[in-house]
Amino acid sequence: MADKVRWTNPAALLGLLVNLRNTIIVAVSSDKRYEPIYNQGIAQVVFDGLVERGYQPGSGLPITLIGYSGGGEMSVAAAPYLKRSTGASIDVISLSGVMSANNLGSTLEDRPLQNLWTGLGS
């Protein structure tokens, strides 16, 4: 039944593709072969966005990254690079985050990860 709905409803198919993409991104971000350059690239995009919007590196103003689903992995993975480039403390809030444990130790040395989620059903 689920397969029938998926193929007859384009939105369901789109959701499947988004989930597949997120799974691949988490896998690449946590793979030790690609992790350093990929996660540094994510951090560079975030850094550029912060500076473009008036953030001053070295100001000590803390940064909070909020990630949903695969964005939790991206936030955790980018945090050490952002910390190094800005000198700021980094907080990560993950909403139903999917993430690898590979990045957790080096990322969140002094600040706890806030992982929030909701359960389905009762």
Please tell me the predicted confidence (pLDDT) of residue 104.
53
Whether 121 maps to a domain, the answer reads no
Whether 122 maps to a domain, the answer reads no
Please tell me the predicted confidence (pLDDT) of residue 103.
54
Per-residue DSSP letter, 109: S
Whether 49 maps to a domain, the answer reads yes
Number of neighbours of residue 12 by Cβ within 10 angstroms:
15
- CA 89 – CA 4 distance, rounded (Å): 48
Please tell me the predicted confidence (pLDDT) of residue 55.
96
Please tell me the predicted confidence (pLDDT) of residue 30.
78
pTM, full prediction: 0.71
Q: Give the domain CATH number at 104.
A: 3.40.50
Specify whether the CB–CB gap between 90 and 117 falls below 8 A.
no
Give me the sheet containing 63-68, strands edge to edge: 63-68, 90-95, 114-116
Q: Which domain holds residue 101?
A: 2-116
User: Who has greater pLDDT, 61 or 119?
Assistant: 61
- CA 58 – CA 46 distance, rounded (Å): 16
Q: Each residue of 33-84: pLDDT tens digit?
A: 888 898 899 999 999 999 999 999 999 899 998 888 778 788 888 888 999 9
> How many structural domains is the chain composed of?
1
